[in-house]
Structure 1
């Protein structure tokens, strides 16, 4: 039997027509202040409600006994009713639209509402801003209406069902409905009343919708009542000299609509969106670049529910990271979120609550996006109303927001007649914005979209789109997948974006890790015995689930920063990357840093208009020489916030420390499989069987290893099987993690030991044949020089270098290299080369799934606090950790890691880059360790 929530002809009952979001106030002054709690016509119903959970839905007329309670807003899985389920593509039930399983869980909510005498003389409405997935509303035992569309408002008039005094309100929420087929987003599947619920008291002859049209010249209101326009000083403004809105300078006017006894406020920004003949995106006639991120509503303890304070804090963090664009992936956000985007200044891609990529997997054998299957539902005429009404409800709610520049039809749902119908409706309703839909590219980007959009193209494809004959703007709606350690390719994309007018920017995927936090541990798909799940693929945020930053976060800030600089013929040239802001609003601080010490500094104001560059003279003094390096450091600061930083190597003469003699005061003696190196106050131990140092004057505590393995990052997910023996697969890879070091010869000559050997994975031909020369000096120092050849048909290496074991007491160290955060060859632009203090404990980065971390690129000196020092005139890479690569490889959660009994210090020739291949292009070749001829050396010193 078809149920109401499976019937395409009844998407809702008695729900009010979509309208602009607003709160009516009972005075002009209250409307200007804009605090809903002060309105006599507003009653927030958030709080603790009675609650009953049923594993299958009960008859709507059946009354539920309430023995438990639950906060509203919330998701019931976060309170122990069912386990969470993370799935990306696959539907968590059979693909049989519009039908859903008979055992359809239900949450029943109950509370009393009080209608005062004054409210009883007026009309009363209830607004649900977000409910997953189908709700039925009852007042005093009578059914009021139904709705679906989880991230869209549902409003019902309650007047006929109410009486003055106490009234009984019951809401029955079903886990699944036909609308669930349109909500197959890549996230944890939660349910409940997860956004605000409130009552509105309205005039009998209430004003329903409010539309205010604004461009770059005027604000026009043509509705009923009177409209007063106030500027930010709170005075009435005739707009004879309007101030325009943009993301850098988000000037807002306030429109107050007075109708009957109600005063309604709308924040309005004057701005015009257009496209240039070159395909540039223009805001108020100025070409802008979208420096964006995809944002999901996600909280590690509350699921879909984020408080207004939490949302505001996120937006402020984004602003501090130089972001100016947000794609609301993949559904409309809360009204408050858009209000803050208007106020703080963001360009918003407002996305319809539609994603159906699970249709790709309705038959076995799914390999990538099967557009024939994915298109199935969007070509079905009986589903067209379900598609179009979601666009209607989004557009009507959000139409007055200046921050919204694109209407997006949805995400990863193929293309068909239903999307064409959505686009047609939107274009007819609102021609002031552009229509976006990435999946339109599967059918050649028809004229139903105004923006050509792509996901995760590599640089070559991206450049091809930019140089095509299609003069629509090109937008990367998802790029640089930020899963785990990464992303590592942002600067490469932005060098290209700035060079091509038609490339208008993009949105990093995505803002925050999705996890369920239990006992301090972030959990993900597969941790809840789900029927289908996608592992940790949801742990793909630019920030951790607590919104703390990763190295990738800071790399994004650098790529998006408003100032780029370079040294040309000894002169500093600064490019202003802002679209509307002169750099004279900031202070430019500069420093000369020599061998880790500041030797000169200053500050100045630079007058550089947007989109222009200027050579800037700095009056600094340089030393004649340095030992480690001399750098110019730049910081662009406003107030207490640093918006940009750069560093330039000034390349003055470097003087190395003189080498100590290797004379006859050393004694090298061979005992069994050891060579002992004795000197004045020190003894080293070399193992001839393994051809490796076993002890450096008691400062190490085990055999050194020559190795290439690193614990795979999330971005190594497609290459790791070619690297290692993983998941009992002995066929795919070089088995770098099951390594044999073969010594063919170990020869002592004077004060040097020469080792000839090879490295090979189990069951494989050696991939690296090498010669390593160890030269010993009177002061106890050791020169290590490795040369060799990587097998021609060997896959590119994760890394290559030596691993030293140090006692746990050797926690602390200093280094001259890139820091203070982790850096890699493709993820270091945010960092400066300098002298830093750290410890093995501090170096740990708690990625949700343990993986490679803590590397420092471009290092020239590492000094452990136990007296062991590593240095080289040629930059190398270091990693100091309480965990081994093997430990990090095996662990699936942070709480599974147990610290080793020693500190592992890696001294690497090179480490491959990070990239963003977890859901993007393969690592750029430049950042792959693919060299075949290796020459590498460093010096070990002791104090």
Structure 2
């Protein structure tokens, strides 16, 4: 057993021999290398990434006392790539939990069987480092670790997602050297790192050596001071050195022209200054960066500089004096294969996708990201809420939400230094990034004196940025003193609540929704409601959707089927199931439809109707800093989905926050039948790092004022009515005509057969349906649904009668109810089926829902079509799924697709693929033989190879066995999707909670090629 000091259960021992926190940088030999920023090109940088020898022990008590010695034999150990998470490499337990601690809650103590990972790396000390002061940097190690160099103890550190740097010069030797590290899975810091994620361990970020001059710049803090009119700036460089040192600072602009230079002899602490006239300001829309070069001894350091201010003056969040709305997302470090080890290209991909979807803000939930992520945000242009590695909401669960439990650790003086350490290391590392506009003091960790100490230290260290912390919200009953916080913050407040705050004149801070609109599964469905209010009130500064990506783990079944796993799939306990699948993108970064919805709602350009008959609309510039000269507009006029006119507008110029009238040279008929729409598409004119010219940023669509012909003028000569024949035998009714034959089961009270020219078009009885496979956001209301029997509702027929109207129509009237066992019937209805001489089947249903029921998931007709009905054509909203509260990203038009393409493969199967606002739809075989559905009022339509019961039963997509038949849903209404898995319950206006309603539709057997 290894004999070491048990630092891992002492919150007052944060480190041993760890260097003070500093700004992130790499020293280079010359300006040219520094400008390229490729750290591997620095002679003073030596990576230790790569293959390490590794042993996993189920307990630190099992660790050999001599494993770290320079001569220890590790030839039989495993090889493990660093950086990596050991759980993704087959060691230990893959484990997902949200709030609950994975260990007994006994702070600061952790289980005696504390798993340990032993790492050994032999390396040759680079020639250029041999005469330098040598430091080793671990960018991220979860959760704490001990370090030895050539058998000598060199240090200890905790705090998983922040750098730990050690001076190791005294322990090195020329030539071959050995580093040994013991990483523990748990420590007292585990109580402060209870984030909603997979619990990973190991050396998961980069490790490298830095060779420094014996006397060198240790740290630099960049401060920008701008004049009130932003016409001039003073740049301050606060330097710390390890001794007396001649330092020069040079600022260069984006064209690499020198702006100015300053020199100073620094001995410990010093400040240089540069004046800049007419600085180009940095913002997320135009992220202009200057480059600061620090020349000291043999080293050149480079720092990007962005001139910008951030304030909350007058209760309004402002960048450079301009009110800004934060259109953001919460982002965890997450990779479907590598876990929390995030390659640089993966970071870039996330940011490029965000940029393409009009996102301007990222909250680093809930810890500092790799420092290179902030470099990218500086360069590409994002506002970052940089968050301390602090979350301890499990303490509340352990005490069953007892009064004060939430604030226990924040109120405990024993933990004060641990709280402060996490703020200090965050701020010191990231203080020079212009993209960081807000410091966040962690997440869901209560609020008391320790948080106040964090915030007060942060404001004193860096008064240039506001400080955020949501845990101080009034509803949590924490410490009353919130003067150290610069904004109010809420999670999942309702739209009504944020509007009430905006109207409350006594509330003087801006309101930030650090989490809102839960994007789990088929959602979110409330984005438009939030932004209608956020845009209206200056005090509302925006917010961050929860969250960016699904945290599924790429996994294989025993038979080799690939799927994404979630909590519980690895036998992990406790677990929170699929609650980690709550992102706007799949694990592989394919966008969910929710991301496309967000893109449209926060789009930088919107259009308002001015005079649609005259072709005049107003283009509104919702950018904060740039005009619309980078935008082109394509427009088209359609009649029933067929283009009648189109064109382009290439020159727009509206300044930020203003609009301009755009005249479109189309002409409309004085009257015409059909649906007339105008669609405008905003295109990017120029290539950017994230999108090519022609990329659509947003669109708008308007119904055009074309009157329909008067009823008398519309009337066409009536076609000769074909006779209809009806015959009943053994409670089977057959209705036939010249080219069709339909059947009703009079006992079951429903349609059972449709055929045209002998082609069978129905593979099972039609049935009324109220059940949908619960979406994730139904997780709470579905308990009521199931209690009342919505999931098992069967039809009871009270009466079924038929009669013939002359020779030209047959009518079947059914009185029925729907209900499940145990409970009273859910609804009663009367359905009237009518078949005419063309073979068309019309249905009119009057429904009365029982009082006292929670809203219905849906109501409509479910049909089963035979195998081969794969082609879908419809006129309505598309080309993707849409719901009453999730339809801003779809356009009204005529669409052709397939049943398979309508399916949205959510990792946890659930209701998907519905098309809101459909006016007609046809489902047919490849020869065009099928059924056409129409209604006087738009309806929700879906075609799939799964029933709602199939989707409800499956826990993973791979468990779905698609039926050969096609299941068609024709819904009077479908309730909205909301975001109630974590957010507020579904808004009333999106619920199907009518107690009486009428639904009508027509089913027409067709041969499309004959029409």
TM-score grouping bracket, smaller chain normalisation: over 0.9
Q: SS of the counterpart of 2:966?
A: strand
Matches within 5 A, 1:554-593: 554-570=596-612, 571-593=616-638
Q: Is the 8 A contact 2:136 2:210 kept in 1?
A: yes
Which has the higher mean CA deviation after the structures are superposed, 622-631 or 460-469?
A: 622-631
Q: Is the 8 A contact 2:282 2:307 kept in 1?
A: yes
Q: Pick the aligned partner of 1:380 from 378, 394, 412.
A: 412
* Cross-structure match for 1:719: 781
Asked if 1:24 is matched to 2:27, the reply is: yes
Which has the higher mean CA deviation after the structures are superposed, 619-628 or 488-497?
A: 619-628
Q: SS of the counterpart of 1:359?
A: helix
Matches within 5 A, 1:799-838: 799-838=858-897
* Cross-structure match for 2:123: 113
Asked if 1:426 is matched to 2:458, the reply is: yes
- Between the aligned partners of 2:989 and 2:472, the Cα distance in structure 1 is 32
- Between the aligned partners of 2:439 and 2:327, the Cα distance in structure 1 is 18
- Between the aligned partners of 1:636 and 1:921, the Cα distance in structure 2 is 33
- Between the aligned partners of 1:117 and 1:128, the Cα distance in structure 2 is 21
Deviation at 1:878, TM superposition (A): 0.3
Q: Pick the aligned partner of 2:395 from 352, 359, 367.
A: 359
Deviation at 1:660, TM superposition (A): 7.1
Deviation at 1:46, TM superposition (A): 1.3
Q: Is the 8 A contact 1:594 1:626 kept in 2?
A: no
Which has the higher mean CA deviation after the structures are superposed, 348-357 or 230-239?
A: 230-239
Asked if 1:617 is matched to 2:663, the reply is: yes
* Cross-structure match for 1:3: 6
Q: Pick the aligned partner of 1:510 from 547, 551, 556.
A: 547
* Cross-structure match for 2:573: 531
- Between the aligned partners of 2:493 and 2:253, the Cα distance in structure 1 is 44
Q: Deviations over 1:452-487 (max 9, x none)?
A: 000001111111222221211100000000000000
Which has the higher mean CA deviation after the structures are superposed, 377-386 or 519-528?
A: 519-528
* Cross-structure match for 1:601: 646
- Between the aligned partners of 1:179 and 1:60, the Cα distance in structure 2 is 24
Q: Is the 8 A contact 2:802 2:812 kept in 1?
A: yes
* Cross-structure match for 2:845: 786
1:821–1:445 CA distance, 2 compared to 1 (3 A): farther
Which has the higher mean CA deviation after the structures are superposed, 62-71 or 331-340?
A: 62-71
1:43–1:118 CA distance, 2 compared to 1 (3 A): closer
- Between the aligned partners of 2:964 and 2:747, the Cα distance in structure 1 is 24
* Cross-structure match for 1:543: 585
* Cross-structure match for 2:433: 401
* Cross-structure match for 1:648: 702
Deviation at 1:777, TM superposition (A): 1.6
Q: Is the 8 A contact 2:99 2:394 kept in 1?
A: yes
Matches within 5 A, 1:321-336: 321-336=357-372
* Cross-structure match for 2:71: none
Q: Is the 8 A contact 2:812 2:833 kept in 1?
A: yes
Q: Is the 8 A contact 1:564 1:646 kept in 2?
A: yes
Using structure 1 for the length normalisation, give the TM-score. Answer: 0.97
Asked if 1:265 is matched to 2:297, the reply is: no
Structure 2: tracts of 5 or more residues without a match: 69-73, 227-232, 240-245, 261-275, 557-561, 685-692, 1007-1011
Q: Deviations over 1:202-240 (max 9, x none)?
A: 000011001111244232224361110011101102422
- Between the aligned partners of 1:39 and 1:409, the Cα distance in structure 2 is 34
Asked if 1:553 is matched to 2:595, the reply is: yes
- Between the aligned partners of 1:660 and 1:688, the Cα distance in structure 2 is 32
Q: Deviations over 1:510-530 (max 9, x none)?
A: 000011111121111111222
Q: Is the 8 A contact 2:722 2:738 kept in 1?
A: no
1:111–1:569 CA distance, 2 compared to 1 (3 A): same
- Between the aligned partners of 1:291 and 1:801, the Cα distance in structure 2 is 37
Q: Deviations over 1:372-416 (max 9, x none)?
A: 111111111011000001100000000000011111000000111
* Cross-structure match for 1:67: 77
- Between the aligned partners of 1:814 and 1:741, the Cα distance in structure 2 is 34
Deviation at 1:635, TM superposition (A): 1.1
Q: SS of the counterpart of 1:375?
A: helix
Asked if 1:348 is matched to 2:384, the reply is: yes
- Between the aligned partners of 1:899 and 1:586, the Cα distance in structure 2 is 44
* Cross-structure match for 1:53: 56
Q: Is the 8 A contact 2:392 2:444 kept in 1?
A: yes
Q: Is the 8 A contact 2:878 2:895 kept in 1?
A: yes
Q: Pick the aligned partner of 2:737 from 659, 664, 679.
A: 679
Q: Is the 8 A contact 2:161 2:389 kept in 1?
A: yes
Q: Pick the aligned partner of 2:154 from 144, 147, 161.
A: 144
Q: Is the 8 A contact 1:218 1:270 kept in 2?
A: no
Structure 1: tracts of 5 or more residues without a match: 725-731
* Cross-structure match for 2:249: 227
Deviation at 1:690, TM superposition (A): 1.6
* Cross-structure match for 1:485: 522
Deviation at 1:932, TM superposition (A): 1.8
Using structure 2 for the length normalisation, give the TM-score. Answer: 0.90
- Between the aligned partners of 2:345 and 2:675, the Cα distance in structure 1 is 45
List structure 1 segments (4+ residues) > 6 angstroms apart after TM superposition: 655-662
Q: Pick the aligned partner of 1:165 from 175, 184, 189.
A: 175
Q: Is the 8 A contact 2:747 2:797 kept in 1?
A: no
- Between the aligned partners of 1:626 and 1:34, the Cα distance in structure 2 is 63
* Cross-structure match for 1:727: none
Q: Is the 8 A contact 2:857 2:974 kept in 1?
A: yes
* Cross-structure match for 1:410: 442
1:657–1:53 CA distance, 2 compared to 1 (3 A): farther
1:139–1:660 CA distance, 2 compared to 1 (3 A): farther
Q: SS of the counterpart of 2:220?
A: coil
Asked if 1:213 is matched to 2:223, the reply is: yes
Q: Is the 8 A contact 1:411 1:437 kept in 2?
A: yes
* Cross-structure match for 1:729: none
Q: Is the 8 A contact 1:314 1:547 kept in 2?
A: yes
- Between the aligned partners of 2:916 and 2:464, the Cα distance in structure 1 is 48
* Cross-structure match for 2:828: 769
Asked if 1:306 is matched to 2:316, the reply is: no
Q: SS of the counterpart of 2:302?
A: strand
* Cross-structure match for 2:761: 699
- Alpha-carbon RMSD across the aligned residues, in angstroms, is 1.7
- Between the aligned partners of 1:118 and 1:276, the Cα distance in structure 2 is 51
Q: Is the 8 A contact 2:936 2:1000 kept in 1?
A: no
* Cross-structure match for 1:447: 483
Deviation at 1:120, TM superposition (A): 1.4
1:659–1:880 CA distance, 2 compared to 1 (3 A): farther
Which has the higher mean CA deviation after the structures are superposed, 499-508 or 136-145?
A: 136-145
- Between the aligned partners of 1:36 and 1:657, the Cα distance in structure 2 is 78
Q: SS of the counterpart of 1:780?
A: coil
1:722–1:153 CA distance, 2 compared to 1 (3 A): same
- Between the aligned partners of 2:591 and 2:134, the Cα distance in structure 1 is 45
- Between the aligned partners of 1:624 and 1:772, the Cα distance in structure 2 is 40
1:628–1:300 CA distance, 2 compared to 1 (3 A): farther
Q: Is the 8 A contact 2:105 2:395 kept in 1?
A: yes
- Between the aligned partners of 1:194 and 1:7, the Cα distance in structure 2 is 23
- Between the aligned partners of 2:897 and 2:822, the Cα distance in structure 1 is 40
Q: SS of the counterpart of 2:999?
A: strand
Q: Is the 8 A contact 2:138 2:165 kept in 1?
A: yes
- Between the aligned partners of 1:662 and 1:822, the Cα distance in structure 2 is 40
Q: Deviations over 1:223-263 (max 9, x none)?
A: 36111001110110242221000010000000000111100
Which has the higher mean CA deviation after the structures are superposed, 258-267 or 654-663?
A: 654-663
* Cross-structure match for 2:950: 887
Q: Deviations over 1:288-321 (max 9, x none)?
A: 0000000000111111011000000100100111
Which has the higher mean CA deviation after the structures are superposed, 1-10 or 423-432?
A: 1-10
- Between the aligned partners of 1:215 and 1:914, the Cα distance in structure 2 is 47
Q: Is the 8 A contact 1:586 1:636 kept in 2?
A: yes
Q: Is the 8 A contact 1:592 1:622 kept in 2?
A: no
* Cross-structure match for 2:422: 390
Q: Is the 8 A contact 2:607 2:618 kept in 1?
A: yes
Number of residues paired by the alignment?
A: 931
Asked if 1:630 is matched to 2:696, the reply is: no
1:930–1:339 CA distance, 2 compared to 1 (3 A): same
Deviation at 1:620, TM superposition (A): 1.0
Deviation at 1:337, TM superposition (A): 0.4
Q: Deviations over 1:540-579 (max 9, x none)?
A: 0011111101110100101110112232453423321111
